[in-house]
Structure 1
Amino acid sequence: MGLHFLRRMDWLGAARSLGYLRLLALLNVAMLVLLVATSRDGVDRNGFLLGSDFISFWTVGRMLGEGANVYDGAAHVAAQRAYFAPENGYTAFFYPPSFLPFCRPLGWLGYFPALATWLVVTGAAHLAAVRAWWRDAGVPAPLWLLFLGFPAVPIVATHGQTAFLVAALLGGGAWLVRSRPVLAGVLLGLATIKPQFGLLLPVALLLTREWRTIGSALVTAMVLAAATTALYGAQVWPDWLAASARAQDAMAEGAVGYAKMVSPFAALRLLGVPTGAAYAVQAVVSLGVAGLLAWAAWNKRWSPGLAALTLAGAPLVTPFVLDYDLVLLAFPLLWLTGQGLRDGFRDWEKLAILLAIAAPAFARPLAMNAGVPVMPLVLALLFAVVWRRARA
């Protein structure tokens, strides 16, 4: 027993894994059904509007239709509370202007029709990207079971967040680099709506000399920025920069809640480490992950392994990442599982897969109630085993 029990995990075979996935899927679906069934007028038992964070995007869509400044914090608060006024709290909006064209159509619908449409469309996009990786990996579990059994999925749904969309763009783009490089660049360029998750992409794409993808991504990002400027005026950019400064202060002060975040920075702040020291450690981790990715990509061509490694490292290199963003891990998890099924699982790989799948279900409660941040360690283990495979 001892470490060998965790290092090899020979007891975790296909049948037992499917059983665990079915149990997780059942719990996830039951939780969502219970949440909706026990809500009143769209407000859950804790006083939160269903799809809690989505009200920020929906409000922005309404404000854009009225020509209002969406980066004016006071105006955004007033517009949001005109629809729903909680006893405390407010869902801020700090996304870059390139996200505004995605928000505008949401304002054409009522809140709940917009929320349902958003989750269906972005969830379908995420599933389409996951399906490509799933088919290549040869994982025997049905796609619907993998989707419903991943605890990060209901977290996205209950928050009405952008994570499905961002994961679809990054996962789909990374997958298409070799087969359809221009389309891959288009998807990656659109992913600049949440730029902190694409920090490693330039490293991997430059070292593998994927010039067509790089060019397509740059053109797409510039066209999106130009279209945004034409639609909403050049002033949105300085307004966003001012809002970003407020976002930086809010994050440092813990306004978001360090227990909800899964970065090394947030973990250290939760443990009481001063802000400056926490940022310094985050910088060391980010540079280390980028260096290991560069090592794996040196003198190589783009491959599914490098794509998986880039996406596995994405949550580690940004200080601002929450548990719902972990749906991005579906892609490296599928690739790693497929490699293990083909060639045999190596030491620690099954443990990394199991923890990365299950941890989103308990990481936030554990951090909030016990002050123990486990997710950065889980992310580091997953990155390490994917890196070992990708280098080979």
Structure 2
Amino acid sequence: MFAETLEAVQSSPSKRTAYVRFVLAALAAIAVFKSFWFARSGGWTERELADFDAFHIVAQHVWRGDLDQVYHFDALLKMQMEAAGGATGFMPWTYPPQYDLLLAPFAFLPVGVGYLLFTAATLALYLVTLRAIAGRNFAQVLVILFPAMAITIGCGQNGFLTGALIGLVCLNVERRQLLAGLALGAMVIKPHLAIAAGIYLLVTRRWIALGTAAAVVLVSSLLCTLLFGWQIWFAWLGAIRESASYLEQGFYPLFRMISAYAALYKAGLPASTAFWGQTAVAGLALSAVLLGVVRGAAPAFTLGAAVMVSVMISPYAYDYDLPMLGIGLALMLPDLARMAGPRERSVIYGLILFAGAYGLLQSARLAVQFGPKADPDQHFAPALGGFALMALLAVLLRLLWRGTQPAPALPQAAE
């Protein structure tokens, strides 16, 4: 079976070492290649902007004293066109001011160098955290997560940073609640990905961690207010409202989104119906956390499920957020063989692989068929990643409903 093939990765120390080295070498090669791409070296002097370009633009405007302008989409579009040297795809900015502050030092580096430093640092933090959680299952998780990690490196996004922060919450929640709270509070840079973890801490009464997280959010918000003024919060909220209208009109590359909203909208449903579908999925995702506690599943398994469903709550979720699934899978693997049969494990591994690879493969198809500047809105490109995560949620709910009961045994073939 597919599950047994992937699990064979960890069958011996030599195999585990070989797979880990291969995956890490491949990720390093992608990062080095993309650093030249971001630096516009060689034949990439004319290219559209990617995500880290947007990070670099925002970092520059932190020091120019007009940070609120990046939250006004007309002004931001002009900044991005100027950076691209002409027309480019538009990337709205809806990150909280805390993330702007985190990016500020990268303004002093060329974009290619900044990309390489940001990617290498966040990837290293993610891998160290993942290794501490996964243990001997590290190689298997790396193989399953490889497509998601590759696409995160390719665009220079922050999926490794958010994955590492949630991983640090999980590592410290039992014995070092203060550290867990600091990591959860740092998730203010992308708060919608921390909702499920926060619910888990609330249900399990981790008051020190929750209090620490709240303090981090409060102190960082006050610092941003002192540095950028009260207007930064109004600008940020205005950008969120404007972004919501853009999402409703399908202006984002929805085929790379992994939300139920994107999947349903691209399937032809009205935006209002797709939104209610997203609301239902978010409710089920949060109920998975409660279900794990009520049904008596192992704490690590329940926490792993909470991490996995974190990427299913917001309508605005991309494939570069999927490294978080690696943290959840690493937490669940020790109990997965007992709670899930080979077919269920095969489905879980396959859905994670598919969700990570789909956007990458679809982007490559569009580029080959219609050129590197192909508009996905003008060509058929469904958002199947969202359907994959909905199916994954269904499997998780089934396992959590069984609780402490072992997976049903497969019928034995007659001899």
TM-score w.r.t. length of structure 1: 0.85
Offset at residue 54 of structure 1 (A): 0.9
Asked if 1 retains the 8 angstrom alpha-carbon contact of 2:38 and 2:112, the reply is: no
User: What are structure 1's unaligned runs of at least 5 residues?
Assistant: none
Q: What residue number does 2:79 align with?
A: 79
Asked if 2 retains the 8 angstrom alpha-carbon contact of 1:54 and 1:160, the reply is: yes
Q: What residue number does 2:390 align with?
A: 380
Label 1:376 to 1:74 Cα distance change in 2 as closer, same or farther (>3 A): closer
Q: What residue number does 2:370 align with?
A: none
1:100 counterpart letter in structure 2? D
1:266-324 C-alpha deviation (Å, 9 max, x unpaired): 01111110000100111111112212321222496993222211111111111110111
Query: Is residue 282 of structure 2 the alignment partner of residue 286 of structure 1?
Result: yes
Counterparts of 1:194-273 in structure 2, within 5 Å, are: 194-273=190-269
Label 1:157 to 1:86 Cα distance change in 2 as closer, same or farther (>3 A): farther
- Structure-2 separation of matches of 1:250 and 1:43: 35
Of 56-65 and 374-383, the range deviating more from structure 2:
374-383
1:21-76 C-alpha deviation (Å, 9 max, x unpaired): 688778766766766778993487695357x1111111111111010133233333
1:235 counterpart letter in structure 2? Q
Of 96-105 and 341-350, the range deviating more from structure 2:
341-350
Counterparts of 1:136-155 in structure 2, within 5 Å, are: 138-139=136-137, 141=139, 146=142, 150-155=146-151
Offset at residue 373 of structure 1 (A): 3.3
1:291 counterpart letter in structure 2? S
Asked if 2 retains the 8 angstrom alpha-carbon contact of 1:126 and 1:168, the reply is: yes
Asked if 1 retains the 8 angstrom alpha-carbon contact of 2:170 and 2:303, the reply is: yes
User: What are structure 2's unaligned runs of at least 5 residues?
Assistant: 364-375, 405-415
Q: What residue number does 1:187 align with?
A: 183
Of 15-24 and 98-107, the range deviating more from structure 2:
15-24
Asked if 1 retains the 8 angstrom alpha-carbon contact of 2:263 and 2:387, the reply is: no
Offset at residue 355 of structure 1 (A): 2.9
Aligned with residue 14 of structure 1, among 8, 19, 26 = 8
Asked if 2 retains the 8 angstrom alpha-carbon contact of 1:198 and 1:314, the reply is: yes
Q: What residue number does 1:130 align with?
A: 130
Q: What residue number does 2:56 align with?
A: 58
Offset at residue 223 of structure 1 (A): 0.9
Q: What residue number does 2:407 align with?
A: none
Label 1:235 to 1:256 Cα distance change in 2 as closer, same or farther (>3 A): same
Offset at residue 381 of structure 1 (A): 3.7
Label 1:299 to 1:345 Cα distance change in 2 as closer, same or farther (>3 A): closer
Aligned with residue 167 of structure 2, among 167, 171, 185 = 171
Partner secondary structure for residue 378 of structure 1? helix
- Structure-1 separation of matches of 2:253 and 2:396: 29
Aligned residues, how many?
381
Offset at residue 160 of structure 1 (A): 1.0
- Structure-1 separation of matches of 2:138 and 2:62: 46
Q: What residue number does 1:303 align with?
A: 299
Offset at residue 208 of structure 1 (A): 0.8
- Structure-2 separation of matches of 1:236 and 1:199: 23
1:159-205 C-alpha deviation (Å, 9 max, x unpaired): 11111111111121123111211110111011011111122233221
Q: What residue number does 1:360 align with?
A: 356
Offset at residue 236 of structure 1 (A): 0.3
Asked if 1 retains the 8 angstrom alpha-carbon contact of 2:289 and 2:305, the reply is: yes
Label 1:335 to 1:386 Cα distance change in 2 as closer, same or farther (>3 A): farther
Offset at residue 84 of structure 1 (A): 2.2
Label 1:46 to 1:280 Cα distance change in 2 as closer, same or farther (>3 A): farther
Of 247-256 and 69-78, the range deviating more from structure 2:
69-78
Identity of aligned residues (%): 24
Q: Between Structure 1 and Structure 2, which shows a larger proportion of helix residues?
A: 2
Query: Is residue 40 of structure 2 the alignment partner of residue 41 of structure 1?
Result: yes
Label 1:86 to 1:341 Cα distance change in 2 as closer, same or farther (>3 A): farther
Offset at residue 157 of structure 1 (A): 1.2
Label 1:236 to 1:349 Cα distance change in 2 as closer, same or farther (>3 A): same
Offset at residue 328 of structure 1 (A): 0.8
Label 1:338 to 1:45 Cα distance change in 2 as closer, same or farther (>3 A): farther
Asked if 2 retains the 8 angstrom alpha-carbon contact of 1:201 and 1:310, the reply is: yes
- Structure-2 separation of matches of 1:281 and 1:139: 35
2:387 counterpart letter in structure 1? L
